[in-house]
């Protein structure tokens, strides 16, 4: 898989994409993540990536040309399955969408910034607009990092224990059951006996019950 991320603040993406599981997934060749600075595609006199909005509102708007030039150059090298724009007014991102994106070959993520992007980019270039929640971030970079992280960690081979991505929270619309590690007794708070029993059928049954009970209590909307 290949993920190209377009941004005006590439520094914001460095650490989230280059540590831990994402770092190892790239080293293993499971994914190639390339960050592009849109300023490198701004060829006007002042190398501007943003400009004042028509209509006289406050704030700046990302210019269309650097975005078109960057994406057109990428498209000359390979075809893309999705060109995603991160924006608070996009469709809500969730685990189902992460699963779907992880099956694709090449995707582009355009990080929104300032007041947003010239609407012609959204009309004529973008294939999918995603929001990570109903709140407004300074820019789409953190949203892009979240999307890349959640997609890459479920690529086969990204996580050591092959089954662990499938038992994640949300994979079957259930919250994950509680987990514990040693010691079995911490300050008098004991790990549930069943987990120490060695009876894997009973353990699995307990985990399912707990997942269902926690989902019903904390996120009943997931069960509907």
Interface with ligand ADE, residue 143, by CB under 6 A:
yes
Report whether 91 contacts 129 (CB < 8 A).
yes
Report whether 16 contacts 45 (CB < 8 A).
no
Nearer to ligand ADE, 41 or 93 (CB): 93
Could you give the string, one character per residue 29-58, with x where binding to ligand ADE holds by CB under 6 A and - elsewhere?
------------------------------
- Flag whether 112 is marked binding: yes
> Least distance in Å: CB of 210 to ligand ADE?
31
Please, which of residues 74-133 interact with ligand ADE by CB under 6 A? 86-88, 112, 131-133
Report whether 62 contacts 49 (CB < 8 A).
yes
Q: Which residue is closest to ligand ADE by CB? A: 143
Q: In the chain, count of helices (H) and strands (E)?
A: 8, 9
Nearer to ligand ADE, 7 or 207 (CB): 7
Interface with ligand ADE, residue 136, by CB under 6 A:
yes
Identify the CA nearest to 125 among candidates 74, 55, 91. 74
Nearer to ligand ADE, 107 or 158 (CB): 107
The pair of three-digit structure tokens given for residue 62, joined into one six-digit string = 């990302």
Report whether 9 contacts 38 (CB < 8 A).
no
Nearer to ligand ADE, 118 or 159 (CB): 118
- Flag whether 49 is marked binding: no
Interface with ligand ADE, residue 140, by CB under 6 A:
yes
Tracing tokens 């949300």 back to the chain, one arrives at 170
- Flag whether 83 is marked binding: no
> Least distance in Å: CB of 21 to ligand ADE?
22
Looking at beta carbons, which pairs linking 72-80 to residues 24 or more positions away fall under 8 Å?
A: 73/41, 74/4, 74/36, 74/108, 78/2, 78/106, 79/106, 80/4, 80/106, 80/107, 80/108
Nearer to ligand ADE, 111 or 154 (CB): 111
- Flag whether 137 is marked binding: yes
> 145 vs 23, 48, 133, 171, 215, CA distance in Å?
13, 24, 14, 20, 27
Which of 54, 135, 189, 200 touches ligand ADE (CB under 6 A)? 135
Nearer to ligand ADE, 22 or 84 (CB): 84
> 213 vs 177, 184, 220, 223, CA distance in Å?
9, 23, 10, 11
**Chain positions contacting ligand ADE, by CB under 6 A:** 86-88, 112, 131-133, 135-137, 140, 143
């Amino acid at each position: 898989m290949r993920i190209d991320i377009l941004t005006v603040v590439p520094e914001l993406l460095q650490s989230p994409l280059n540590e831990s599981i994402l770092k190892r997934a790239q080293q293993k060749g499971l994914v190639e993540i390339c960050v592009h600075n849109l300023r490198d595609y701004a060829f006007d006199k002042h190398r501007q990536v943003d400009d004042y909005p028509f209509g006289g509102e406050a704030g700046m708007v990302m210019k269309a040309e650097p975005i078109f030039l960057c994406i057109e150059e990428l498209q000359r090298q390979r075809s893309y399955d999705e060109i995603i724009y991160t924006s608070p007014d996009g469709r809500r991102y969730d685990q189902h969408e992460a699963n779907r994106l992880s099956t694709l070959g090449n995707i582009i993520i355009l990080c929104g910034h300032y007041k947003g992007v010239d609407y012609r980019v959204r009309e004529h270039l973008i294939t999918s607009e995603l929001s990570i929640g109903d709140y407004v971030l300074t820019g789409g970079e953190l949203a892009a990092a979240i999307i890349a992280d959640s997609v890459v960690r479920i690529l086969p081979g990204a996580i050591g224990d092959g089954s662990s991505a499938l038992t994640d929270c949300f994979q079957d619309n259930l919250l994950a059951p509680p987990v514990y590690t040693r010691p079995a007794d911490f300050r008098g708070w004991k790990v549930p006996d069943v987990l120490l029993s060695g009876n894997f059928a009973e353990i699995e049954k307990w985990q399912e019950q707990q997942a269902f009970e926690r989902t019903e209590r904390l996120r009943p909307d997931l069960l509907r």
